[in-house]
Amino acid sequence: MDDEAKHRTDTRAAIIEAAAALLGESGPGAVTTRGVAQRAGVQAPAIYRLFGDKDGLMDAVAEHVMAAFVARKAARAASAAAANTDPLDDLRTSWREQIEFGLTHPAVFRLLSDPERAPGSPAARAGREILQARVHRLAAAGLLRVPEPLAVDLIHAAGVGTVQILLATPPERRDPAMGEAMMDAVFARILPDAPSAATDSTRVLAVALRAVAPDLETLSVPERHLLIEWLDRIAVPR
């Protein structure tokens, strides 16, 4: 990297760090061009050159904060998988961390939960992939009674909705048990009952086998595809 490119990269990083600090300390209103420039030790025009406008800067800041959070989650998920910890406990911990992150970083959460922005966010996509991996561990352990994609969608929707409701409620009126109540409601939908009904047991087995079917090398590729198709039919709730 030449000196000019390094200077540009360093300047961009300094601006993002300054804006992220202001956002965390005082909210979106504190993230002004002048305030960010002063904190980062740069001239205001540098912000426009690097980010185009304030919206561009806010997008970069949200991505930066979210990426750091997702990196920590990825490390914990990898550690949990390597240690073969209880996949349900792992998912519960992840849920609580996600709710806490949304409440602690409301501006970032609102930006990245926007349907117009989320699909273009590498950090948001990475976060969903981590959730998919955690749900896959549940399925492989025989602890899931709905197809993996449906479980991922339900958990994601419930988590986003919970944070949105809590953020829309004055802090003094927020129910601290709401996150746990919503988590239990979602888990009641995606986890098998105990004891399971016969139909429920069949779905659990189908979902578990579906989780490992792509890796069954004793079957040919066409046979695996056919097996997956059959298992998907069995696993879908009716």
For residue 130, what pLDDT is reported? 94
* H helix count then E strand count, the chain: 11, 0
Q: How would you class 41 by CB atoms within 10 Å of its CB: exposed for 0-12, middle for 13-18, buried for 19 or more?
A: exposed
Residue 116 lies in a domain: no
* CA 70 to the chain's CA centroid: 7
Domain assignment present for residue 60? The answer is no
- What's the pLDDT score for residue 2? 75
Which range marks the domain in which residue 2 is found?
1-52
Q: Is residue 30 part of a domain?
A: yes
pLDDT at position 9 is 86
Q: At what angle do helices 3-26 and 33-40 cross, to 10 degrees?
A: 120
Residue 194: per-residue pLDDT? 54
CATH of the domain at 22: 1.10.10
Query: Structurally, how many domains does the chain consist of?
Result: 1
DSSP for residue 43: -
pLDDT at position 195, please?
45
Domain annotation covers residue 236: no
Residue 131 pLDDT: 95
| 149 contact partners, CB below 8 Å, separation of at least 6 | none
SS3 218: coil
Low-confidence ranges of the chain (pLDDT < 50): 195-198
What tens digit of pLDDT does each residue of 91-134 get? 999 999 999 999 999 988 888 888 877 777 888 889 999 999 99
Please indicate, yes or no, if residue 26 is contained in any of the structural domains: yes
Residue 190 lies in a domain: no
Alpha helices of 144-220 — where are they, by DSSP H?
Answer: 148-167, 178-190, 198-212
User: Using CA atoms, how far apart are residues 168 and 160, in angstroms rounded to an integer?
Assistant: 12
3-state class (DSSP) for residue 1: coil
Q: Is residue 196 in a domain?
A: no
Q: Tell me, yes or no, whether 46 lies in a domain.
A: yes
